[in-house]
Amino acid sequence: MNRRCRILACGSPDGGDDAAALDALQLLPPAVALRASLEDVRQLSAEQLLGDPPGSVRLVVDCVAGVGPGEVVDLPLRELPALERRLRPASSHALSIGQAVALADRLGGIGPGDRFIGIGGAAFGLGQPKSPAVEAGLPGLVARIEGLVP
């Protein structure tokens, strides 16, 4: 069993497409939970990216604006701060998710295997349902996450 992988899902369960990452956690096959820690973090902070043993992998998952609804993006976590203006995670954060990642990186908390996996969203209003495009894209998001778990 390899629990040196953490999947950190950001989002709001009542925010339309912003719930996609949280829903993806629920859709992962049970075998993934044997290989990784599944965490509903809602709002990512730098502290959540610090303190893992060397060689640990973190997969940060969120719904984003800036790409087509339902489109899955996968990039090294270190690249997120530079792309944050174009690829905007939709969850509300005290620090933006890019700022949290940049701070954690400066403190030595981001490793070469850490990734950001996002799904493009269209409906982010409180109480809105997920858009059809995000519903259709969820299996691809789940498959991408599952494929990255060591």
Q: Hey, where are the domains in the chain? A: 5-148
5-148 is classed CATH 3.60.20.10: no
Chain-wide mean pLDDT for the chain? Answer: 90
pLDDT score for 1: 41
State pTM to two decimals: 0.90
pLDDT at 2: 47
Give the tens place of pLDDT for each residue, 128-150.
Answer: 999 999 999 999 999 999 999 99
Strands (E), the chain: 5-10, 37-42, 57-65, 72-76, 88-89, 115-120
Whole-number pLDDT of residue 85: 67
pLDDT at 90 over 80: no
Q: Which residue has the higher pLDDT, 125 or 7?
A: 7
Residue 13, pLDDT score: 93
